[in-house]
Amino acid sequence: SQQGEEDPQALSIQEGENATMNCSYKTSINNLQWYRQNSGRGLVHLILIRSNEREKHSGRLRVTLDTSKKSSSLLITASRAADTASYFCATAGGGFKTIFGAGTRLFVKA
């Protein structure tokens, strides 16, 4: 069962613009993670935000978490063509399983 739902499903922007992706989830969580997947490759971990955190930064990435709305957003600033990939949110609640959403496909045009 999928818990996280990303929005939009696909996003096309020009190089240099900012890209914002959203994730909504249904149950309580311990943390939320964002992953990146280049076409035909494995997923790579980008950032983890814990349920008691509201915002986290890593380089050009900014993640926010609103547990009252059960939502998170990933902002990529000053996008580059190399940022073209699919981005997934993943939630970990009490227990063992981490559940992935369906992903947002980002296209950054040079």
By the criterion CB under 8 A, which residues form the site for another protein? 1-2, 29-31, 33, 35, 40-45, 48, 88, 90-103, 105
SS3 100: strand
User: Cβ closer to another protein: 1 or 110?
Assistant: 1
Shortest Å, Cβ 40 to another protein: 7
What's the CA angle centered on 8, arms 24 and 31, to 5 degrees?
Answer: 30
DSSP state of 69: T
Q: How do beta strands 85-92 and 104-109 pair? A: antiparallel
Q: What are the φ and ψ backbone dihedral angles of 41, each rounded to 5 degrees?
A: -120, 175
Shortest Å, Cβ 78 to another protein: 25
User: Cβ closer to another protein: 59 or 95?
Assistant: 95
User: Cβ closer to another protein: 15 or 107?
Assistant: 107
Shortest Å, Cβ 76 to another protein: 19
Shortest Å, Cβ 46 to another protein: 10
> CB–CB of 13/108 below 8 Å?
yes
